[in-house]
Amino acid sequence: MATLVTTGRAGLAASVKARDIFLGIGAGQTAWDANGVDPENIASTGLYSAIGYRKAAQVEFVTSAAQGAISLPSGRYDVSSADTNLLYCKFTLDFVDASTSTIRETGIFLDVITGSGLPSGQMFFDAATEVTSSGTLYLLEHLSSIIRTPATRETFEFVLTF
């Protein structure tokens, strides 16, 4: 039987790292507030109700480390100078990004296509007016409601395993 080896997995992680990685945020279903969050569906291709997409602020190869500087529910990690099969992605919503929205779902998307004529360096893109294609959904997470305000900057962190 053939086996995908560690260096092959690191190569897959490197190919994803080289692409544009975005966090999609969505309103999900308001019924989740009363009935609990629906489980994610492996066949999903997008968010229920996309609000916007934020480019990754940081993408790094990481290794598991008992006392690692990056602490997530999945474990602790340290940044690695070598390619690994673990890819850390950090997204921080700015104060004005969807500042009055309720977030109930997030997803990591590859190769989001934004409209032409937008300012260089723009990091957040409104789903309805500034995104022409949401690209490929890589990871999906349904959440308890996060109510955005112009006084907060939520940060979302993930480690993708290849």
* Sign of CA pseudo-dihedral 41, 130, 121, 113: positive
Tell me the pLDDT of the chain (162 aa) as tens digits.
Answer: 999 999 999 999 999 999 999 999 999 999 999 999 999 999 999 999 999 999 999 999 999 999 999 999 999 999 999 999 999 999 999 999 999 999 999 999 999 999 999 999 999 999 999 999 999 999 999 999 999 999 999 999 999 999
In degrees, rounded to 5, the angle at the alpha carbon of residue 17 between the alpha carbons of residues 86 and 65 is: 25
**In the Cβ-directed half-sphere of 151, how many Cα atoms lie within 13 Å?**
0
The pLDDT, as a whole number, for residue 49 is 97
pLDDT at 32: 96
pLDDT at 65: 98
Q: How far apart are CA 109 and CA 21, in angstroms?
A: 6
Residues in the chain: 162
The reported pLDDT for the residue numbered 148 is 97
**What's the pLDDT score for residue 137?**
98
Is pTM beyond 0.85? Reply is yes
Which long-range contacts (C-beta less than 8 Å, at least 24 apart) are formed by 62-66? 62/86, 62/87, 62/88, 62/159
